[in-house]
A and B are shown apart, each in its own frame.
Chain A
Amino acid sequence: MMGAKYTSGPMTLSGSLQQGLFKRADIVFHDVDHSGPTFEARVFLNKADADENTPMDVAHGYAGSFYVFGHGQCFGDLGHCDVNRPMRRHDKRTQHPLTANKGIVVATDAIRAEAGKGQPISVTVVPVIMAATDDTDLDHVLKFGDVRIVAYG
């Protein structure tokens, strides 16, 4: 079972990335929502038609996976899962449990392979559901703020 997938626009690589001058390259997802089901986020490069049956190897653009451990559903009253609750000057409460987190895919080989082709890279994410209910909205499983390709020398 998979949720609606995401495909980025073409991302142009900087010079050092294009030339493969890095020891490690990551695909980093910021502000990943974890209020919904639990799933594996399979990440592919330049493979917009990827789905849950696409082989997970570099030859098919597979870069790696990260996992979202979801809350499944709300077990509170109205407003319980509102992450952006008011914070007053003297408010010492801890952050909301649903504060968004980060997904890191170390994708050195896959990025090096795509970079060598001299073309921009698009990122496709296929959410493969691990745990959900009949009420899960499969069109809105995967939610995140932005995605970045970052390389380290």
Chain B
Amino acid sequence: MAALPLRKEIDELSAVELAGLRAGYAGMQAISDNRGFNYLSGLHGIPGNYCVHYDDPPLFLPWHRAYLHEFEQYLQDRAETATVPWWDWTIDRGGNIPQAFAAPQSPDGSANPLYASQINQPTANPPIVRQTQRFPMTGQPLPDPSVVTNLVALTDFEDFSTQLRGGVHNQLHGWTGGMGMVGGRRTYGDMAVVPVAAFDPIFYSHHCMIDRIWYLWQLQNGVTNIPQAILNTVLPPFNVKVADVLDIHQLGYDYAIGATTTSGSTP
């Protein structure tokens, strides 16, 4: 069996891998139908409103794993070897967002598809048709690695899920989006509010980090360590139940902080 595609930390991507990721996001953003970035982003908040951020039943982690997996399939339709990278916000970058997401332009001078996307939701009330915006709380502290260590040390799934969601998950949404002035009025950054958070391309790498923390927790506490009562709960609009998303290897990906692969000798 071939090696599973690896999700890596954003700054661990090679130049070729990062270019591939950008090509994938740009390709998705150029599509306006249900394979495109705008459509898929709209499943989380407006107009789909499928996301789960409540704790009872504890579907927050399974739903977002299913969402990220679905998103990654469409990403790979555009760039076959691309995977969603995680943004490890415990790495000291001077209180800044990784450059791959922060730079308005790609190295070739084109618009960086990891920096922003175009929200096209004319049926929202009020309608939203504009580019995404971000006002990160630069200079405000980000979580240190001990936060992840403490989360992974928890032993009860519901305790873990609630603390992860209501702690660093929510904190980083607020930190990344922040608020700023546009046209003389105070407004929020998109990552900071549920209905439009997923239109910011960095959303998927933040949630990749959240999914990775769940994976690290599963390594300690078992893949099937989740209330049995929710195993058959479907995760709309995706074609999976909770039981289908517990094992990331069954979903066809793995997490690694580094890897080197060379071709085999099969003729």
A residues within 8 Å of B by Cβ?
34, 37-40, 66-77, 80, 94-95, 97, 99-104, 106, 129-134
Contact = CB atoms under 8 A, between A and B. Distances in A.
Nearest to A102: B55
A132 B186 CA distance: 7
B185 A38 contact: no
Given A131-B192, A132-B186, A133-B188, A103 B166 contact: yes
A71 B195 contact: yes
A102 B179 contact: no
A147 B162 CA distance: 16
B179 A131 contact: yes
30 contacts: A34-B53, A34-B194, A37-B188, A38-B192, A39-B174, A67-B169, A67-B171, A69-B53, A69-B169, A69-B170, A69-B193, A69-B197, A71-B193, A72-B193, A72-B195, A75-B125, A76-B46, A76-B124, A80-B125, A94-B50, A99-B56, A100-B54, A102-B162, A102-B166, A129-B179, A130-B137, A131-B177, A131-B188, A131-B192, A132-B186
A107 to B, nearest CB: 12
Interface of B is mostly: mixed
A130 B50 CA distance: 24
Of listed A101, A104, A131, residue having the most chain B CB within 10 A:
A131
A66 B128 contact: no
A131 B187 CA distance: 7
Interface of B: 45-46, 49-56, 121, 124-126, 128, 137, 159, 162-163, 165-167, 169-171, 173-175, 177-179, 185-189, 192-195, 197, 236
A40 to B, nearest CB: 7
A38 to B, nearest CB: 4
A94 B187 CA distance: 31
A26 B173 CA distance: 24
Contact of B186 (A40, A80, A102, A133): A133
Contacts of A34: 53, 194
A69 B193 CA distance: 6
B162 A104 contact: yes
B175 A130 contact: yes
Given A72-B188, A104-B166, 18 more contacts: A38-B173, A40-B174, A67-B167, A68-B166, A69-B174, A70-B193, A70-B194, A71-B194, A73-B195, A74-B125, A80-B125, A94-B50, A95-B54, A97-B49, A99-B54, A101-B53, A101-B166, A129-B179
